[in-house]
Structure 1
Amino acid sequence: MSIKLKLELASGQSLKGAPLQLLRDGVAIARTSVDAQGNATFDVRPGPGKLAVRVDRSILPQS
Structure 2
Amino acid sequence: MTIRLKLELASGQPMQGAPLELLADGRPVARGVVDKQGYAVFETGPVKGALAVRVDRSILPAG
* TM-score (normalizing by structure 2): 0.94
Shift of residue 10 of structure 1? 1.2
Shift of residue 47 of structure 1? 2.3
Partner of 1:43: 43
Tell me the secondary structure at the aligned position of residue 58 of structure 2: helix
Tell me the secondary structure at the aligned position of residue 61 of structure 1: coil
Shift of residue 3 of structure 1? 0.4
Name stretches of at least 5 consecutive residues in structure 2 with no aligned partner.
Answer: none
CA RMSD of aligned residues (A): 0.7
Number of matched pairs: 63
Query: Which stretches of structure 1, 4 residues or more, deviate above 2 A after TM superposition?
Result: none
Partner of 1:7: 7
